[in-house]
Chains A and B, each alone.
Chain A
Amino acid sequence: MIRTTGLTKRFGGLTAVDGVDFELGQNELCSLIGPNGAGKTTFFNLLTGTLAPTAGRVEYRENDWVDVTDDGPHETALRGIHRSYQITNVFPTATALENVRVAAQAHGGNDAWKLWRNVSAFGEYEREAREILDRVGLGDETDTVASTLSHGQKRHLEVAVALAGDPDVLLLDEPTAGVSSDAIDQLVELIRNVAEDHSVLLVEHNMDVVMDVSDRVAVLHRGELIADDDPVAVRENPDVQRAYLGGYEADGDGSNAGGNDTGTGGEPA
């Protein structure tokens, strides 16, 4: 559904993403893992057009492959690439329903420009929003103002906003961040559920979740894709082990200096 060729992003002297070739198939769930600063969030920002790459291409499959490298975030969203955020990033004083409704409305062509019509005349977006809220388990919270939801519920809402407008590709950035272990089970359930009819690229630190839900696992280390395989194979891969545990004793590793992920904007580590 989406693929990159030689995707590279440099910030000054830092190469955050370094020549990544990656492809995500239809209805596939691929996890993207890697130590802090490996370039995961930057990679997301490149896919959604939030950042422009220094080199390389991003393509998206509609009927045929379309080059979306130069598209802005709203253009990629309209094509069907949606994302969630690592830190809850919704519309805080709007209700849960309005959060999803306004996101659904974005995909209604010129409807958002109909200044003279009351929102209530566009029931289809509200229906869609209600369905999505039901699907993510927030059906009882439609009228709750987003900022007053519990943290776990907010993480569900975060996914719900990304689901609005019927995307084909979902990029989920640490959906379980800061969620307690019992609430994680529900999120895992949700991720599995949405992966049935979406192509999902999941950034996740919780390895139990990753091993549990992924069809495939890709590992970024210092901006480079060092592994891309099924979960078990990735777990056994010595390069991956070293990336996580450090290559300090093992000399030869890491000729690539300075893969610092400046694009993350502070991870809640």
Chain B
Amino acid sequence: MSEPTETSDAPAVTDRRGAYVRRVLADHAVHAAVVVAFALYPIVYTVLGQTPLGSEFEVFLPRVHAMVAVLYIGLFAMSFDFISGYTGYLSFGHALFYGSGAYLVVLTATDKVPLLGPDTPFMLLILVAGLVAVALALAVGAVSFRLSGVYFAMITLGFAEVAHVFIRNWDHVGSNPRDGASIGAAGDAFAVGVPGIDALQVGIGRLVGDEFGDVFGIGVEFGTAEVSYYAIGAVVLVCYLLMQRIIHSPFGRVMIAIRENEERARAVGYDVFRFKLAAFAISGFFAGVAGALFAGYRRTVAPGNTFDLFFTAEALLAAIVGGFGTLAGPLFGYLFNASVEGVLSTEPHGIARYLRDVLSESTLSAGAGGVTVADVINVLVDGRADLYLGIVFILFVLYVPRGILGTLRDRLGGHVADRLPERVRSRFRGRNE
């Protein structure tokens, strides 16, 4: 179980440095593999699309545009897990932080926020969005952490709904606040990168973002979706690493202690209220950032996809499928959910359209009792993701309560990132010996 000791003959200093580098690489091998897989995805998607099975791949693999949403909603789901999975407090109003971040970006761009002009750099705006969410989280948390369990869930939901109703009716947002607000395609794309250095920034947004032809001179073209994917992916990666760092810090251990046994955490000397509040604020920060990324990419916000209870539910679903208290799990959970949604979507790349195209007319009109195959596709497949996700969700709650990543960890006996390389190594050694 312990780390294998190095047996190199090299001088001690280099040995230690080499060992350190190797250990860091080994420890983060899984992280690196995941990042590489995500990085290669747009290219793989393009390449597979050109194979003879291209149309099948297009049905079953999420489009890059959908993968951008996986990144920012995945970040939101991770921020939700940061508080709910690690301290055990179910933040049922988490959409409040995401929504305020998203609205901040759009309202700033339409010059409706005091002190912040429409040309505020996007990177700064992301930070402000996070800080606004921190302020809200401190205010909500100061009141809510006097409660626990269902009551905590309900009071946070209450706060979020107050904001939801407010934003739906606040005419400062736009002439029809129920429909939200939009920046439109006019104007510059929001730039992600190093502020102040144009060369190190790219514009995001599906309609207005930057695109690059023939990257690396190998004939691969990056459209706006691909460019946004990498830019937003970089921000999400940084956020993930920051959250992971905190989870592995002494502070993170206190969060887990609170989840495990709050009474005892207090009895050994922690002022648990302050720790819960701080964890909530940090969680709110990243939810705010996620909202800002969403608004920056989509350039339009609406109450229904920001402040809504059902948006918090997206995070909840992702966390259950991916695994509560695993941080990265919810991102994978949301990737799973988004894939199911993509496959069952009514849009051209969905399986319903595909089946209608592929199956012959006679197959489609075949059937029994007046119900044709075409009817079945229309009724039970076309755009029915919620039905199947609901069923998957119930099955996970009943039979896989630790989620995908949590169950994997249980099987491997530790964090996947720690254990997987070790497993592989020991198996490899076993064969050699």
Q: Do chains A and B touch in the complex (CB under 8 A)?
A: yes
Question: Could you tell me the dominant secondary structure of chain A's interface residues?
Answer: loop
Whether the pair B250, A164 counts as a contact (CB closer than 8 A) is no
B211-254 vs A, CB cutoff 8 Å, 1 = contact: the mask equals 00000000000000000000000000000000001101111111
Contact of A122 among B250, B265, B266 (CB under 8 A): B250
Q: Which residues of B contact A165 (CB under 8 A)?
A: 268-269
State A48–B272 Cα separation when bound (angstroms).
16
- Contacts A90-B264, A115-B249, A117-B249 given; indicate if A102 touches B254 (C-beta within 8 A): yes
The range of chain B's interface size is 20 to 34
The stretch from A15-23, A73-81, A192-200 touching chain B is A73-81
State A73–B249 Cα separation when bound (angstroms).
24
B10-23 vs A, CB cutoff 8 Å, 1 = contact: the mask equals 00000000000000
- Contacts A91-B257, A91-B264, A94-B260 given; indicate if A119 touches B269 (C-beta within 8 A): no
Q: Which residue of B lies closest to A94 (CB)?
A: B260
Q: Which residues of A contact B265 (CB under 8 A)?
A: 91, 102
Q: Counting CB contacts under 8 A, is A189 at the interface?
A: no
For A101, A111, A112, which residue has the most chain B Cβ atoms within 10 angstroms? A112
Q: Counting CB contacts under 8 A, is A113 at the interface?
A: yes
Question: Could you tell me the dominant secondary structure of chain B's interface residues?
Answer: helix
Q: Counting CB contacts under 8 A, is B270 at the interface?
A: yes
Which residues A77-109 have CB closer than 8 A to chain B?
A: 77-78, 82-83, 85, 89-94, 98, 101-103, 105-108
Whether the pair B245, A118 counts as a contact (CB closer than 8 A) is yes
Q: Which residues of B contact A105 (CB under 8 A)?
A: 250, 253-254
State A108–B246 Cα separation when bound (angstroms).
17
- Contacts A114-B249, A116-B245 given; indicate if A83 touches B267 (C-beta within 8 A): yes
Whether the pair A164, B260 counts as a contact (CB closer than 8 A) is no
Contact of B269 among A94, A98, A107, A118 (CB under 8 A): A107
State A112–B251 Cα separation when bound (angstroms).
5
Shortest distance in angstroms between A249's beta carbon and chain B's nearest beta carbon?
42
For B1, B252, B261, which residue has the most chain A Cβ atoms within 10 angstroms? B261
Q: Which residues of A contact B282 (CB under 8 A)?
A: 115
Q: Which residue of A lies closest to B256 (CB)?
A: A94
- Contacts A89-B264, A91-B257, A122-B250 given; indicate if A106 touches B270 (C-beta within 8 A): yes
State A93–B86 Cα separation when bound (angstroms).
12
Whether the pair B250, A119 counts as a contact (CB closer than 8 A) is yes
A164-180 vs B, CB cutoff 8 Å, 1 = contact: the mask equals 11000000000000000
Q: Can you pick out 27 interface pairs between chain A and chain B where the beta carbons lie within 8 Å of each other?
A: A72-B266, A72-B271, A74-B270, A77-B267, A82-B268, A89-B264, A91-B261, A94-B256, A94-B257, A101-B253, A102-B257, A102-B265, A103-B268, A103-B269, A105-B253, A111-B250, A112-B253, A114-B250, A115-B249, A116-B246, A117-B250, A118-B245, A118-B248, A161-B264, A164-B268, A165-B268, A165-B269
Beyond A94-B256, A112-B275, 4 extra complex contacts between A and B, CB < 8 Å: A73-B267, A102-B253, A102-B256, A119-B253
5 nearest A-B residue pairs (beta carbon): A106-B269, A77-B269, A91-B260, A103-B268, A78-B269
> Which residues of B line the A interface, CB within 8 A?
1, 245-246, 248-254, 256-257, 260-261, 263-272, 275, 278, 282
> Which residues of A line the B interface, CB within 8 A?
48, 50, 72-74, 77-78, 82-83, 85, 89-94, 98, 101-103, 105-108, 111-119, 122, 143, 161, 164-165
